[in-house]
Structure 1
Amino acid sequence: MNILLNALIITLLSLNSFATYAGGGQSTQPLYYVIEEPFTINFLRQSDEKARYLQIKVALMSKDQSILSSADSNLPMIQDTLRVLFAEQNMETVKSLDGRSELQQKAYERIKAIFEEETGNSNLEAVYFTTFLWQ
């Protein structure tokens, strides 16, 4: 009887492991990767030598854990790409709601391209600006 019970338990555990593996790491719940360090951009040259700054904190969202795991190993590339993108912006553009939305879309496209190139996985679903301070 004990042997039969152990065999049943092992079979159930094996099936559970297979179901998790077969899911490919996909979750039905959104998962987030928060880039802890904020991006700070100085617009001094564009603002008649007045101190103007933009500070953005970024979070990535996917239902695929493998994308968010690869965000950590590709973080320097992601940060550099975002710094370049943010520095390319015009002070007047980022002040508008449309400009902010366009910047968010460009950030999404550039980060998704990094994942496609580095991992072959493009399951990034969104990029959020969790802080967007204009001063």
Structure 2
Amino acid sequence: MRRRFVIWGIFLVSTFPVIAAEQAISVTPYYEIEDPFTINFLRQSEQQAKYLQIKVALKSDDPEIIAHAATHLPMIQDSLRLLFSDQDMTKISSIEGRQSLQSEAFDVINEIFVSELNNANLQEIYFTRFIWQ
């Protein structure tokens, strides 16, 4: 009887790595750009200080996209900073404007992956922080 429990225990323990590996494969990877983007809208705000702070995360099922996000981070940051700085503050103060900006940011980042990796498997980008004051 004890021998059966030992054999059963060995079987269960030996399957844990397989189960863990299967679960790890199904997880959708994210890459979060650690530094937020902070934009000053002083010129557009009639001398009142207005700031926008955005934090961005990328989502892709393709591990190549996530792995190369850090490699191409300076290019991604520069492109996003230019995009965010070029916005009109009245546009981004609405939900539709924010969604439009998010779509434009997706296009900018995806274009980098296409040109650098010939890979268009970026699924989504998220604004994990959007502070407008």
- Please state which band the TM-score falls in when normalised by the shorter chain: 0.7 to 0.9
Task: Tell me the CA shift for residue 111 of structure 1.
Answer: 0.3
What is the letter of the counterpart of residue 52 of structure 2? L
- TM-score using structure 2 length: 0.80
1:32 equivalent in structure 2: 30
Task: Tell me the CA shift for residue 74 of structure 1.
Answer: 0.2
SS of 1:113's equivalent in the other structure is helix
1:87 equivalent in structure 2: 85
The structure whose residues are more often strand, as a share, is: 1
1:1-55 CA distance string (max 9 Å, x none): xxxxxxxxxxxxxxx9xxx9xxxxxx54321000000000000000001010000
- 1:66 and 2:29 are equivalent in the alignment: no
- TM-score using structure 1 length: 0.79
1:80-134 CA distance string (max 9 Å, x none): 0000000010000110000000000000011000000001111100010000000
Instruction: Give the percent of matched residue pairs that are identical in Structure 1 and Structure 2.
Output: 52
SS of 1:30's equivalent in the other structure is coil
Among 45, 48, 52, the alignment partner of 1:47 is 45
1:120 equivalent in structure 2: 118
2:6 equivalent in structure 1: none
SS of 1:40's equivalent in the other structure is strand
Regions of 4+ moved over 2 Å: none
SS of 1:102's equivalent in the other structure is helix
Q: Specify every segment of 5 or more residues in structure 2 that has no aligned partner in the other structure, as ranges.
A: 1-17
What is the letter of the counterpart of residue 125 of structure 1? Q
Among 75, 78, 92, the alignment partner of 2:73 is 75
Q: Specify every segment of 5 or more residues in structure 1 that has no aligned partner in the other structure, as ranges.
A: 1-15, 21-26
SS of 1:121's equivalent in the other structure is coil
Aligned residues: 111
Cα RMSD of the aligned pairs, angstroms, is 1.4
